[in-house]
């Protein structure tokens, strides 16, 4: 599966930050959240994982489009309402990027505004 190694490393990184991973590859028609986690203050975090081995076509962060962010937002709202029965819980979206090989590349966490 494409991206599985990057997602495995991302999940391990989030666990190392003290988060609890609640779901992986949460899918709805037209959208997906790679990782759903909860931090120590009970905030839900919806994480998109992006990895680029080479920067010839841009960095991993540059591969996240406004359309992808809109689909993430929609999938996050669906997760809140379908899985938890409410949409008013503290949460945020973020992108975890890996520039370089999945197992050794540089990891960055980027908060998504709005």
pLDDT of residue 1: 47
pLDDT of residue 54: 83
Place of tokens 């590349």: 105
Distances (CA, A) of 27 to 3, 35, 57: 15, 11, 27
pLDDT of residue 114: 54
Give CA–CA dist 86/79, Å, rounded: 9
Give 91's contacts (C-beta < 8 A, 6+ positions apart). Answer: 43, 44, 45, 46, 76, 80
CATH classification of 4-112 is 3.40.1350.10, yes or no?
yes
Give CA–CA dist 22/60, Å, rounded: 24
Question: For the whole model, what pTM was predicted?
Answer: 0.92
Domain ranges of the chain: 4-112
pLDDT in tens, the chain (114 residues): 457 899 999 999 999 999 999 999 999 998 899 999 999 999 999 999 999 988 788 889 888 999 999 999 999 999 999 999 998 999 999 999 999 999 999 999 999 875
């Amino acid at each position: 599966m494409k991206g599985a190694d990057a997602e495995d490393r991302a999940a391990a990184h989030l666990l190392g930050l003290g988060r609890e991973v609640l779901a992986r590859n949460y899918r709805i028609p037209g959208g997906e959240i790679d990782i759903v986690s909860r931090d120590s203050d009970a905030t839900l975090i919806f994480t998109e994982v992006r990895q680029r081995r080479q920067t010839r076509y841009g960095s991993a962060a540059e591969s996240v489009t406004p359309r992808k962010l809109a689909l993430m937002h929609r999938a996050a709202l669906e997760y809140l309402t379908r899985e938890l029965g409410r949409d008013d819980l503290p949460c945020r979206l973020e992108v975890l990027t890996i520039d370089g090989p999945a197992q050794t590349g540089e990891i960055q966490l980027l908060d998504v505004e709005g």
